[in-house]
Amino acid sequence: MNFRVNGNDVEVDAADHESLLTVLRERLGLPGSKNACEQGECGSCSILLDGKLVCACLVLAGAVQCGFCTPGLVVATHALLVQNPEPSEQEVREALSGNICRCTGYGKILEAVQRASAATYRR
């Protein structure tokens, strides 16, 4: 994978399961972000990713997210869209609030629900 860190272009081979924190610390030798709770609770691994503050321990550096939350999110999304084919963002957030994803910031998940709504459930 190729990306920019601290203004420098870098190329790193990362396994699908590796966090961005692991890549920064172990593969690139950048120990500034610390590995403490590994649950995104303590903030010791905080970095700026595309200008947004994120916990590097929760961002996968590999191309695939873990998929642990996917089944629950898909079922919750289906249940929502069957009852409400055109939900607002707040309604989507509320419907999915019982599902925890440790890998994302939910932005892409919310976008996916809106795309599913437009493509499948609106008639």
Q: Determine, yes or no, domain membership for 52.
A: yes
Q: How far apart are CA 82 and CA 74, in angstroms?
A: 12
Q: Determine, yes or no, domain membership for 113.
A: yes
Structure tokens at 27: 């593969």
Number of domains composing the chain = 2
In this structure, the answer to whether residues 75 and 53 fall within a common structural domain is no
pLDDT digits (tens, 9 = 90+) for 24-59: 999 999 999 999 988 888 999 999 988 889 999 988
Boundary-marking domain end, from 10, 26, 58:
58
In this structure, the answer to whether residues 9 and 53 fall within a common structural domain is yes
pLDDT digits (tens, 9 = 90+) for 91-116: 999 999 999 887 777 888 888 899 88
Q: Determine, yes or no, domain membership for 63.
A: no
Q: Which residues contact 17 (CB under 8 A, 6 or more apart)?
A: 60, 62, 66
Residue 92: which CATH number?
1.10.150.120
Q: Determine, yes or no, domain membership for 104.
A: yes
Q: Determine, yes or no, domain membership for 65.
A: no
Give the domain range for residue 17: 2-58
Residue 52: which CATH number?
3.10.20.30
Query: What single DSSP character describes residue 60?
Result: B
In this structure, the answer to whether residues 43 and 81 fall within a common structural domain is no
Phi, psi for residue 29 in degrees, rounded to 5: 65, 35
